[in-house]
């Protein structure tokens, strides 16, 4: 090929390259903008050099190709994944933090009449703090005491019974606390009338004059475990479900107290007979 022909070929090739570059620029400039294109445009690609900023006059140069490649690599590294929380707040997590029958703070807020005035007032908060607020440390101590009273009832009234037999006793204690006819706390039910003298209380072990300490370690640990489960149900307003909610009385099968003829017999589990009035 002669030098003259070679010059013409190279000149034609340069014009073709310039035409293609101009076509690419026009396609990018006038193509309809989709949601994806708009999103990419907001990502701030590689800053344009003075040469690249000339628009349609830009020639297909190594700088333009290098800028295009770098921009594509940047787009590949962008992630639209949203990180998720490391832990989830659940009921079990809350109950594990503090054992309580109810959250009196939330109950007080929810009980406020919202029809008139603001939801909370200085006077309302002040009254609540003076009359109803209980520090967390005291709530924990009260909860531990309640579980212990329930464990004592299970241990002294039904140790040696089957699981259902022991939970049935716990069920009666909880039924009484919910009934409105007895104290509203576990310890209040278990030790009701214990201050009146020997054998004048509701549960004989509570006023027999002997220490209420479980000396059989295996049986005591078992009673504590059952009490823990039953007390958690009590916290949620639930019951073990071994006997009906109406059952408030029981006695051992070895005796026949006078009051047993006044109530309706509901069930017999192990060594105990259970009644409702």
pLDDT, mean of residues 143-158: 96
**For 212-262, how does the pLDDT look when each residue is reduced to its tens digit (9 = 90+)?**
889 999 999 999 999 999 999 999 999 999 999 999 999 999 999 999 999
DSSP string, 35-65: HHHHHHHTT--SPPPTTGGGGGG----HHHH
Quick one: pLDDT at residue 45?
46
Percent share of the chain, pLDDT over 90: 44
Per-residue pLDDT band for 187 (boundaries 50, 70, 90) equals: very high
Pairing of strands 272-276, 264-269: antiparallel
* Whole-number Cα distances in Å, 26 to 22, 39, 196, 219: 6, 20, 100, 87
Q: Which among 64-73, 91-100, 150-159 has the top mean pLDDT?
A: 150-159
Quick one: pLDDT at residue 138?
81
Quick one: pLDDT at residue 20?
46
Higher pLDDT, 226 or 99: 226
Domain boundaries, the chain: 3-77, 142-276
Count H helices, E strands: the chain? 10, 3
Higher pLDDT, 141 or 12: 141
**Residue 38 burial by Cβ neighbours in a 10 Å radius (0-12, 13-18, 19+):** exposed
């Amino acid at each position: 090929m002669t030098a003259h022909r070679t010059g013409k070929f190279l000149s034609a090739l340069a014009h073709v390259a310039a035409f293609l570059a101009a076509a690419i620029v026009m396609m990018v400039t006038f193509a309809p903008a989709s949601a994806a294109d708009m999103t990419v445009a907001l990502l701030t690609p590689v800053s344009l050099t003075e040469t690249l900023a000339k628009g349609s006059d830009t020639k297909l140069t190594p700088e333009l190709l290098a800028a295009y490649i770098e921009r594509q690599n940047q787009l590949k590294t962008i992630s639209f994944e949203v990180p998720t929380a490391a832990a989830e707040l659940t009921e079990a997590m809350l109950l594990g933090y503090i054992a309580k029958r109810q959250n009196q703070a939330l109950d007080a807020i929810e009980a406020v009449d919202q029809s008139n005035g603001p939801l909370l007032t200085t006077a309302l908060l002040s009254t609540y703090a003076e009359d109803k607020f209980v520090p967390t440390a005291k709530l924990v101590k009260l909860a531990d005491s309640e579980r212990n009273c329930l464990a004592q009832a299970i241990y002294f009234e039904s140790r040696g019974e089957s699981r259902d037999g022991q939970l049935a006793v716990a069920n009666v204690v909880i039924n009484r606390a919910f009934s409105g006819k007895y104290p509203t706390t576990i310890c209040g039910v278990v030790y009701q009338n214990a201050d009146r003298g020997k054998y004048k209380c509701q549960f004989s072990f509570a006023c027999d004059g002997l220490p209420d300490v479980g000396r059989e370690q295996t049986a005591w640990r078992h009673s504590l475990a059952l009490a823990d489960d039953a007390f958690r149900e009590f916290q949620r307003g639930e019951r073990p479900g071994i006997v009906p909610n109406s059952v408030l009385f029981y006695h051992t099968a070895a005796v026949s107290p006078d009051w047993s003829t006044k109530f309706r017999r509901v069930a017999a589990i192990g060594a105990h007979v259970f009644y409702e009035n």
